[in-house]
Amino acid sequence: MTAVLPDVDPFSPEFLADPYPAHELLREAGPVVHLERYGIHASARHAPVRAALHDPEAFCSSAGVGISDFRKEQPWRPPSLLLEADPPEHTRARRVVAGVLSAAAMRRLTEAFTAAADELVARLAHGAPFDAMAELALVYPLRVFSDAVGVPEDGREHLLQYARMVFNTFGPRNELFENAVAGAGPTREWVDQQCREENLRPGGMGAQIHARAAAEGFSPDDAAMLVRSFLSAGVDTTVHGLGNALWCLARHPDQYTLLRADPGLARAAFEEVLRYEAPVQTFFRTTTRPVALDGVEIGGGEKVLLFLGAAGRDPRQWSDPDAFDVTRRATGHVGFGFGIHACVGMAMARLEGEAVLTALARHVARIEPAGEPRRMLNNTLRGLETLPLRLVPGPA
Ligand code: OVM
């Protein structure tokens, strides 16, 4: 009944460098497949991925959302109260964090996020080659997110290394995992310190987490853990969302022409990037009991790998899925997950994407590749290490 794939390794360098041929193989093998190499189930189709995310009682998060089963193995860091939790504990934690990331909070951030994007893009629209990762995709979230949360300026670059490590640790203990955690002591120490109330700017989102968490009855240590979720999930995800957006637009000049002609497409274009090149490629769930997923029986206590990125290109869900099309309706993709664990910061991510793409449309006539980008390999994230581009200036 279940297709067994003995050799597929979704965490090998070859797979991570170009996952799309393997995604197709996985999708076409069945709604749910068995990856013998790791003894796990997996799904690369949109409908079953969405269905598993929609059923947190049968597909839980408290056993970890990476390949490691927290019921059998010691987690590498204390589990997240948000990501690696189930109701009812998850519900309380989510309420605290969601309150800080409300629509009203996003409206208050819009002006600063828009101005920062405009200033940065205008400065980079000089027509000479530059590294759009180092000078744009990395710089922008690190600045606007850290300012909003209230993280001190000194040492912010630790956040990049920290997130990269967190996302590598959702995979198996391969070279990426081991290299990420090796020598990371000082970075972990720095992040843990910044999560404490006394190190966060009063009035910032980190301080607001502490205030709301205290009101919900969380201890100061648990409140700090909720800030840790912010710092884990808030920077590298948007860094690679923006990097992937720039690379998509550089490779598809016809699509950039559409965006340039109508900057109102910025929000939809960013959404299409998340469908087409999802920064977060995968998450796991663990079955709490025997359960059928899209007609395939899975036993209890099993790890299930959900290919969010592959679901974004499932031809059962999307027409011409391998076409990057900024005019399509890409909402409904599962790049932000789905259900009770859907990205709690997605409004902020979308605000960042919209701000940067709008600024490009305003200041840049053409986005041109200026050399081959270097890919970053990560057990969970899909993104670039370097991205040589030219932003050819043009009037608004
Ligand atoms: C957390 C966390 C860490 C990484 C990712 C994430 C995408 C959450 O610590 O809660 O969500």
Distance 347 CA to ligand 1 centre (A): 16
What's the CA dihedral at 11, 280, 116, 374 to 10 degrees?
30
Q: Which residues line ligand 1 (CB under 6 A)?
A: 80, 82-83, 166, 228-229, 232-233
For the segment 125-169, what is each residue's pLDDT rounded down to a tens digit? 999 999 999 999 999 999 999 999 999 999 999 999 999 999 999
* Residue 213 DSSP label: H
| Residue 170 alpha carbon, nearest atom of ligand 1 | 4
Atom 7 of ligand 1, residue of closest alpha carbon: 233
Task: Calculate how far, in angstroms, residue 311's C-alpha sits from the geometric centre of ligand 1.
Answer: 20
Amino acid at 268: A
Segment 45-76, tens digit of pLDDT: 999 999 999 999 999 999 999 999 999 999 99
pLDDT at residue 6, rounded to an integer: 79
HEC-encoded secondary structure of 113-173: HHHHHHHHHHHHCCCCCEEHHHHHHCHHHHHHHHHHHCCCCCCCCHHHHHHHHHHHCCCCC
Task: Determine the pLDDT at residue 395.
Answer: 79
Locus of tokens 């670059």: 157
pLDDT of residue 146: 98
For the chain, domains (ranges, CATH) are: 3-393 (1.10.630.10)
Per this entry, what is the length of the chain? 396
Longest dimension (CA), the chain: 60
Buried-state track 25-49, b at ≥16 Cβ within 10 A, e below 16? ebbebbbbbbbeebebbbbbbbebb
Ligand 1: which residue has its CA nearest to atom 11? 233
**201-214 b/e (C-beta count within 10 Å ≥ 16 → b):** eeebbbbbbbbbbe
Residues 179-201: tens digit of each pLDDT: 999 999 999 999 999 999 999 99
Residues of the chain with pLDDT under 70: 396
Q: Which atom of ligand 1 is nearest to the CA of 232?
A: 3
**Ligand 1 pocket mutation pick from 90, 161, 168, 232 by most atoms within 8 angstroms of CB:** 232
Cα-to-centroid distance, 264 and ligand 1 (Å): 30
- Write down the pLDDT at residue 152: 96
